[in-house]
Amino acid sequence: MTEKPLHVQVAEAFGCTPVLNGATWECGDHGHSYSSIVDEDGEEYNDYIIPRFDTDWAVTGPLIEKHMITLTPTPMGWSAGTWPGSYEHQTPDGAGPLIAVCNLILVLKAAQDARKQ
């Protein structure tokens, strides 16, 4: 099996158990926040598809606000960091801000796991 895509790794960092269903990555945990969606009428329905954290501002924007992530354009791409600057991740040239945020989330998860050991 190849490496999991970035958006799948991010969902996994948030506690989702990813499952590949054909060509679609889904959250296999029925009680996980990414396994149910509330539609515009306020009705909850099951949609196990893992959101595209690496391309969808509507999904990643709330994470940026919640975790107080700063985004800064740099000559090399984008820099994403936590306030007050405890962790930072820079993307390679040409990569966008959402990819920087995704990579920062993975760095934060690795740091959290390291502290637990």
Which pLDDT score, from 0 to 100, does residue 98 have?
Answer: 92
- pTM for this one? 0.80
- Cα–Cα distance measured from residue 87 to residue 40, given in angstroms and rounded to the nearest whole number: 36
For 104, the 3-state DSSP assignment is helix
Which pLDDT score, from 0 to 100, does residue 4 have?
Answer: 94
Which pLDDT score, from 0 to 100, does residue 82 have?
Answer: 82
Which pLDDT score, from 0 to 100, does residue 72 have?
Answer: 87
In 3D space, the residue among 83, 80, 36 whose CA is nearest the CA of residue 54 turns out to be: 80
Which pLDDT score, from 0 to 100, does residue 45 have?
Answer: 60
Domain ranges within the chain, ordered by starting residue: 1-51, 54-117
In 3D space, the residue among 43, 42, 63 whose CA is nearest the CA of residue 51 turns out to be: 63
Contact at 8 Å (CB) between 69 and 46?
no
Tell me the residue type at 66.
K
Which pLDDT score, from 0 to 100, does residue 1 have?
Answer: 42
DSSP characters for 10-36?
HHHHTT--EEEETTEEEE--TTSGGGE
Helices of type H across the chain: 6-13, 57-66, 97-116
Which pLDDT score, from 0 to 100, does residue 10 have?
Answer: 95
Taking only the tens of pLDDT, the chain with its 117 residues reads 458 999 999 999 999 999 898 888 988 877 666 665 566 776 666 668 898 999 999 889 998 998 889 898 888 788 888 876 667 777 766 678 999 999 999 988 998 999 988
